[in-house]
Amino acid sequence: MSHSHERMILGITSRLCFALLPFTVLAQEKPNIVLIFTDDQGYGDVGCYGATGYKTPNLDQMAREGMKFTDFYVNCAVCSGSRAALLTGSHYQRVSMRPVLFPNSKMGLNPNEITVAEVLKERGYATACIGKWHLGHHPKFLPTNQGFDSYFGIPYSNDMWIDPTSKLADGVKLNQGMTAERIKSEKKRRNWVPLFRGEEVIEYPVDQATLTRRYTEETVKFIRKNQAKPFFVYLPHTMPHLPLYVGEKFKGRTKNKFGDIMEEIDWSVGEILKTLKDLSLDEKTLVIFTTDNGTRSGSSGKLRARKASIYEGGVRVPCIMRWPGKIPSGKVCSEVAATIDVLPTLAHLSGAKAPADRKIDGKNIWPLMQGLVDEKSPHEAYCLAYRGGSVRSGKWKFYPFAAGKSRKKKGSETKQPQTKWPQVQLYDLSADISETKNLAEEHPEVIERLKATYKNHLDDLKKNKRPPGRI
């Protein structure tokens, strides 16, 4: 038998086995889920993705014991849009989310949207959001009204300020000489942000150097409290978003503060994994580690550009998934997957149904997570409409604009003389991961195909757009 025939038979066998899973293994075991989501961490900011100058032993071990994704994408290169897509399984434009919300914003994630927490809650999961929310800070938009049983964290980015209309809890802890009267009368103070529990401010301004530790402690407490039933904890870390803050125990561990922060985040991952093992929950729990967009202060590795760019360094992110006994150890997946795939995948694994009354853009990537032979990405084309827009299809990355003309912030991309480039860009990522050689003129047939794909995507977003949440 030829090698190609063997691979074909193995592939068919794998798919047949997968088809039976919902009625056997998965029907009996609803996995616990821990979803860790860092802020502004680059593709090259984890040891197993090439980080240098600091160590991430727990994340590296996660990769050895699970699966590392090399071509994993977010839906928006900045905060709010990315988080909306993660939690709804839909493009952020489809749910009418702005790329970034501010403390004076009057909108948020529409409570009529169905989040992954709501999907899992229907299956009996205990749910918690612990960390940075950034999908609307007004009560109707907060996690407790979006499927989460509890919330502990900051409502938006750590470089922002407090909305003076925020509800203060009885016994709120006020630091730095702050008073309730001053909160209502003072002009905004950047980098002074409130800490919420539920829908109330319990501390202001929060000591940001303590957040990673406190988020970790809250997560461990939640896991211990809910160990007897399935649970879902969403842990969106505040760090390493600017301004950078690090816990006292990690100061000076490396040559710079960013490295210290990454070692503290790695410690946090280790504490959670240790808790799962101590409680004999290790093989019952899927742990996902990824980030919301590219970096501002870390490393993009070999990828072009950084946060806020549609180039790879802005939207391709590290992703590690671990579930002992279910996800094979030491595997690397180089197929295209994305944060929008989280909701339909977790719905499948929990035995839930993904929302059927609205369009969900994500796909079930459980076959990829299993490392099935010859399994391909469910995304024939992955489109992003952020800024100038892009399409990833197989090895190709297409941009419907000329280099330097995508209306990006100054410094967010490498500027090229207009005369040297056609009006569109096309890169072969299999041979040119850094996107240095524009092949648009050499492959007009690919350009025409992906132009049509992108236009259809924009038309679909316009046709099937859902209303925003407003106060």
Residue 338 DSSP symbol: E
Evaluate whether 86 touches 69 at the Cβ level (below 8 Å): no
- Maximum Cα–Cα distance for the chain, whole Å? 80
Q: How many angstroms separate the CA atoms of 468 and 96, rounded?
A: 5
79 is catalytic: yes
Catalytic site residue from 76, 79, 333, 383: 79
* CA atoms lying within 13 Å on the CB side of residue 382: 28
Contacts 24+ apart (CB under 8 A), 50-53: 50/299, 50/301, 50/302, 51/262, 51/299, 53/254, 53/255, 53/256, 53/259
Active site residue 379: no
- CA 216 – CA 41 distance, rounded (Å): 18
How far apart CA 265 and CA 59 sit, in angstroms, is: 9
Residue type at 269 in one-letter notation: V
- Convert 314-335 to b/e letters by CB count within 10 Å (16 or more is b): bbbbbbbbbbbebbeeebebeb
234 forms bridges with which residues in the sheet? 35, 129
Catalytic residue among 76, 91, 134, 137: 134
Residues with catalytic function: 79, 134
